[in-house]
Amino acid sequence: MNALSSPAALRNRGAILEVIRPLLPAHGLVLEVASGTGEHVAHFAAALTGLRFQPSDPSDEARASVAAHCAGLANVLPPLALDVALADWPVVAADVILCINIVHISPWAATEGLMAGAGRLLPAGGLLLLYGPFVRDGVALAPSNAAFDADLRARNARWGLRRVADVEACAAGAGLRLEGVVAMPANNLTLLFRKGVQP
């Protein structure tokens, strides 16, 4: 199996772990959507041994890379084929859902599917954590992010940086509320959504 590598994942995995570590439960299942190379989930699982991690990706090549990076980690389950835009997910429940650098390099339908899936799978009080570049109303877009957005839209008209307000509204429709926004290195953000507690 070929273990792929992403320079961005190697740069940001430590900063992401620092933010999410105090937010995660001591035990439970963390579903990572679109695991890519697998370097994030391998790093998190090695540091958070009380949690079980379920990686996923629609790409055969990515899942093979995930398996290679996570070999030997007892708390990482075999990666699943998961397309968030589809209503039928191969997972029925998760305590936390983690999605890194995806919503801007996929059609909006993927974000809608992610939110709908999180609404189905998460328990009341469960967390959805998104990481990546976003557009915040009233906050000037960094030149690097503006250039990145233009490049994405040139590559695919359905891609591009998403407004936090639009993502928040989409999440609200699935019963998730935006609980926090954390500024990250390189002009990225971590968005923390929590599933509403039933009255």
- The reported pTM is 0.96
Q: What is the mean pLDDT of residues 180-186?
A: 96
Say if residue 199's pLDDT is above 70. Answer: no
Assign 1 a pLDDT band (cuts: 50, 70, 90).
low
User: Which pLDDT does position 175 carry in this prediction?
Assistant: 97
Domain contains 138: yes
In a domain, 135, yes or no: yes
132: left (phi over 0), alpha (psi -120 to 50) or beta: left
165: pLDDT strictly greater than 90: yes
Q: Is 160 left (phi over 0), alpha (psi -120 to 50) or beta?
A: left
Tokens 């998403």 correspond to 162
Instruction: Report the pLDDT averaged over residues 44-50.
Output: 98
So what's the pLDDT on residue 189?
A: 97
Q: What is the pLDDT of residues 131-163, one digit of tens each?
A: 999 999 999 999 999 999 999 999 999 999 999
Confirm whether 42 is domain-assigned.
yes
Q: Which CA distances in Å does 9 have to 33, 91, 92?
A: 15, 25, 27
pLDDT tier at 198 (50, 70, 90 boundaries)? low
Q: Does 29 reside within a domain?
A: yes
Tokens 């695919």 correspond to what residue? 156
Domain span at 28 = 7-195
What are the pLDDT digits (tens) for 48-92? 999 999 999 999 999 999 999 999 999 999 999 999 999 899 999
Residue 178 lies inside a defined structural domain of this protein: yes
Q: pLDDT of 108-134, one tens digit each?
A: 999 999 999 999 999 999 999 999 999
Helix, strand or coil, per DSSP, at residue 98: strand
User: Residue 11 gets which letter from DSSP?
Assistant: H
- Confirm whether 121 is domain-assigned: yes
CATH of the domain at 167: 3.40.50.150
Total domains in the fold of the chain: 1
Dump pLDDT digits (tens) for 27-40: 999 999 999 999 99
Query: Which residues have CB under 8 Å from 115's CB, separation 6+?
Result: 128, 170, 171, 173, 174, 176
What per-residue confidence (pLDDT) applies to 2? 86
In a domain, 2, yes or no: no
